Amino acid sequence: MFINIPSKLEAALIERPLQPWELDGSFLETSTMERYRAELTATPQFERISATLRHALTVEGGGYAVLRLGNLAEALGTGDRFRRLATAFAAEVAVPFSPFPKWPLWKDIGVKVDKDPGKSSGIGYNAFHMDLVNATLPPDFTTLLCVRPDPLGGGPSILSDAHAAVARLSDSTRALLAEPAYHYGTFYDLHGVGEEYKPFPILDGARTDQGFVRFTAKMLERSELGRAHANAARELAGELVRGQVSFMLEAGDYLIVNQRRFLHGREALYSGQEAVPVIDRRLLLQLFLRTPGGAGSTA
């Protein structure tokens, strides 16, 4: 769902600067969230837009939304004032936090031509995945704020309903995916995401329509998996692609993904990135959200 901000609300937000946020460890301080909400609920239609956003992320069949904040980005720039507004919208969904102590609350995802092409900052196809797949308490929501799209026109976002994909698989395939036989990546110096989960099942819930679908296509190439479990994961990967939706994020667009429902990725950027100055290349900002009192994994 794409959610446009009414012009009256945009005008009010431009005229209402928010104070800098405070953190409690790696999480946004409760007093900051309360202050932001108190200030913004006084603006016209803010509560309606917030309710629309929460509904889009949790309604049956839903699980992602794009807030169109482009006019605000154009008016305010993409610096601190704009990021505080995006943080305030995020706090209407869940608690913003950063699992990476060496990064600020918002983590830059730029473009590095010498990086592994399949990584988030690479230039190639970034296959379907959930973030922090090997943590016992992965973020409930992952969010991406578009500062600059690819000036060459590439890199559409892709999303797929993970539970719908699982439902199209056979019982025998789902049984294999429910076994703790999968592993991927490293785990160190992380906050607020529990412990390392290794090995883990892809199907994290007791029912196929609940819990995380702990999947990253990268583990098919970069982890040693038994043939049966690898084939089951490949079947899921195929269903994710079959059910995907794709769209371009424009400057100021804020994508929020419910990780309990959808997996995300990105198509390749267009060739010629080497010729684009670093300051002009695609730039996203990433922020994670934790549902208050959320149980995270069933592990």
CATH code, domain with 265:
3.60.130.10
Q: Is 293's pLDDT higher than 90?
A: no
Of 66, 94, 62, nearest to 261 (Cα)?
62
More confident residue, 101 or 180: 180
Within a domain: residue 297?
Answer: no
Other Cβ atoms less than 10 A from the Cβ of 28: the count is: 25
Whole-number mean pLDDT of the chain? 94
Does any domain span residue 80? yes
CB 257 within 8 A of CB 66: no
Domain ranges, residue 84: 2-290
Let me know if residue 132 belongs to a domain: yes
Q: What percent of the chain has pLDDT over 90?
A: 87
pLDDT band (50, 70, 90) for residue 61:
confident
- Is 263 in a helix, a strand, or coil? strand
pLDDT recorded at residue 209: 62
pLDDT value, residue 292: 86
- Cα separation, 261 vs 250, in Å, equals 24
Q: What is the pTM of this model?
A: 0.95
Question: Does 247 map to a domain?
Answer: yes
Question: Residue 297: pLDDT above 60?
Answer: no
In a domain, 299, yes or no: no
Q: Hey, is 149 helix, strand or coil?
A: coil
Share of residues in the chain with pLDDT > 70 (%): 96
* Mean of pLDDT values over 54-62: 92
If pLDDT is split at 50, 70 and 90, which confidence band does 296 have? very low
Q: How many domains does the chain have?
A: 1
**133 occurs within a structural domain:** yes
Segment 13-31 shows an average pLDDT of: 96
Residue 296: inside a domain: no
Domain presence at residue 23: yes
Mean pLDDT computed over 81-88: 98
